Chains A and B, each alone.
Chain A
Amino acid sequence: MGLELYLDLLSQPCRAVYIFAKRNGIPFELRPVELRKGQHLSDAFAQVNPLKKVPALRDGDFTLTESVAILLYLNRKYKVPDHWYPQDLQACARVDEYLAWQHTTLRRNCLRALWHKVMFPVFLGEPVSPEMLAATLAELDATLQLLEDKFLQNKAFLTGPHISLADLIAITELMHPVGAGCQVFEGRPKLAAWRQRVEAAVGKDLFQEAHEVILKAKDSPPADLIIKQKLMPRVLAMIQ
């Protein structure tokens, strides 16, 4: 059995892993894990990832979680072009810096925006107060400002002149609030231009393919009561 990637393209980190593998022609078996059906909570999947999260990787006997670790593993094992995670000491450090920073900032705020704006009301049937939503969107806005001012600045890509893992991680995050109907690129021409460059570097078709699921998230059929009860505690913990 070759490389297996356990993914749900509803999830931002799964999209980053998917795009990276596809773009670099890395052969893998796609193992779909449907989050909205609670498939990540199954005993079978716990064998792959006892933390019950996606993405997860299995390569023979070796299993691995955490999208950043998976991207770095694929990057090293398959000898992809240097720009994804440069050999140059300082260029590499810039990528590491972004990959570390984003966990508690952009990832968190993009996740909250999607759940507060769409997934709670539409999928879980739980209303979210306008104040809560406004606060979440304000936090997202502040993070987008940091993304532009501290990371992108006047460069073509987040960490330099070429696309890297940092851009993949970031763009797939930003498509989360986009999927929720947030106009994150409106009023942000710098970020919008960067998005175009990333899409071009990834390839429009692959980019669209990877984002088909999230862009239909607002049409999620409501969860039945059993699924809702199963998912709620973990969702609440996830978006803290």
Chain B
Amino acid sequence: MGLELYLDLLSQPCRAVYIFAKKNGIPFELRPVELLKGQHHSDAFAQVNPLKKVPALKDGDFTLAESVAILLYLSRKYEVPDHWYPQDLQARARVDEYLAWQHTTLRSSCTRAMWQKMMSPVFLGEQVPAETLVSTLAELDRCLQLLEDKFLKDQDFLAGPHISVADLVAITELMHPVSAGCQIFKSRPKLAAWRQRVEAEVGKDLFQEAHAVVLKAKDLPPADTSIKEKLKPSVQVLLR
């Protein structure tokens, strides 16, 4: 059995891994794990990732969780072009810096914005208090400002002149609030231009394919009661 990637393209980190593997022609078996059906809670999947999260990787006997770890593993094993995770000491440090920073900032605010603005009302049938949503969107706005001022600056890509895994991780995050109807690129021409460059580098078709699921999330039928009960505990934390 070759490389297996356990993914749900609803999830931002799954999209980053998917795009990276496809763009670099890395052969893999896609193992779909449907989050909205609670499939990540199954005993079978717990064998792959006891943390019950996607993305997860299985390569023979070796299993691996955490999108950043998976991206770095794939970039090393498959010897992809240098720009994805450059050998140069300082260039690589810039990528590491972004990948570390984003966990508690952009990832957190993008996930919460998407769930509070869209998934909770549409899928779970529950409105989040207005003040909570306002606060979350303000937090997202702050993170976007930091993304522009501290990371992108006047560069073409987040960590320098070439696309890297940092850009993949970031763009897939930003598509989360986009899918919820947040116009995050509207008043941010610098960020919008960077998004165009990333899409061009990835390839429009692959980019669209990777984002088809999340962009249709607003049309999801409401969850039935049993699914709601199953998902609510793990989703509660996103609605605060």
Contacts from A to B (Cβ < 8 Å) = 50-51, 62, 64-69, 72-73, 76-77, 89-90, 92-94, 96-97, 99-101, 103-104, 108, 146, 149-150
In contact, A103 and B100 (Cβ under 8 angstroms): yes
Are B90 and A50 within 8 A (Cβ)? no
What does DSSP make chain B's interface, helix, strand, loop or mixed? helix
For this complex, 10 residue pairs linking A to B, each with C-beta atoms less than 8 Å apart, are A66-B96, A69-B96, A69-B99, A72-B93, A73-B92, A93-B73, A96-B69, A99-B100, A100-B66, A146-B51
Within 8 Å of chain A (Cβ to Cβ): is B31? no
With both chains docked as a complex, state the minimum distance between the C-beta of B166 and any C-beta of chain A, in angstroms: 11
Q: Is B35 positioned at the interface, with any CB of A under 8 Å from its CB?
A: no
Cβ contact of B77, chosen from A66, A69, A72, A89, cutoff 8 A: A89
Shortest C-beta distance, A14 to chain B (Å), equals 14
Choose from B64, B89, B97 the contact partner of A77 (Cβ within 8 Å): B89
Does B30 sit at the interface, judged by CB under 8 A? Answer: no
Known pairs A73-B93, A149-B50 / 7 extra A-B pairs, C-beta < 8 Å: A51-B146, A66-B97, A73-B96, A96-B69, A100-B69, A100-B103, A103-B103
Q: Is there contact, CB below 8 Å, between A93 and B150?
A: no
Query: Quick one: which of B66, B67, B69, B100 contacts A69, CB cutoff 8 A?
Result: B100
Q: How many residues of B contact A (CB 8 A)?
A: 28
B72 to A, closest residue via Cβ: A96
CB distance from A21 to the nearest CB of B (A): 15
Tell me which residues across on chain B come within 8 A of A101, comparing CB atoms.
51, 65-66
Residues on A with C-beta less than 8 A from B90 are: 62
B76 interface hit (Cβ, 8 Å): yes
Known contacts A68-B100, A77-B89, A104-B108; is-contact A96 B149 (Cβ 8 Å): no
Residues in A whose Cβ lies below 8 Å from that of B67: 100
B236 contacts partner chain A, Cβ-Cβ < 8 Å:
no
In the docked arrangement, what's the CA distance between A97 and B68, Å? 7
B183 to chain A, nearest CB (A): 25
> Known: A62-B90, A69-B100. Is A97-B50 also a contact (CB below 8 A)?
no
**B107: nearest chain-A partner, CB-CB:** A104
Query: Which residues of chain A are near B76, meaning CB under 8 Å?
Result: 89, 92
Find out whether the CB atom of B104 lies under 8 angstroms from the CB atom of A103.
Answer: yes
**Cα distance, A104 to B69, chains bound together (Å):** 15
Shortest Cβ distance from residue B173 to the other chain A in the assembled complex, whole angstroms: 14
Q: Nearest residue in A to B146 (C-beta to C-beta)?
A: A51
Choice from B51, B77, B149 contacting A50 with Cβ under 8 Å: B149
Residues of chain B lying within 8 A (CB to CB) of residue A73? 89, 92-93, 96
Of chain B, the residue at the smallest CB distance from A74 is B93
Which A residues are CB-close (under 8 A) to B149?
50
Q: A64: which B residues are within 8 A, CB to CB? A: 93, 97
Contact in complex: B51, A93 (CB < 8 Å): no
Q: How far is the CB of B213 from chain A (nearest CB, A)?
A: 23
Shortest B135–chain A CB gap in Å is 11
Looking at the assembled complex, report how far the CB atom of A215 sits from the nearest CB atom of chain B, in whole angstroms: 26
Tell me the minimal C-beta distance from B14 to chain A in angstroms.
14
Which chain B residues border A93 with CB–CB below 8 Å? 62, 64, 69, 72-73
Inter-subunit contact B97/A50 (CB<8 Å): no
- Verify A69–B97 contact, CB threshold 8 A: yes
Whether A96 touches B77, Cβ cut-off 8 Å, given contacts A51-B146, A73-B93, A76-B92, is: no
Distance in angstroms between the alpha carbons of A146 and B97 in the assembled complex: 26
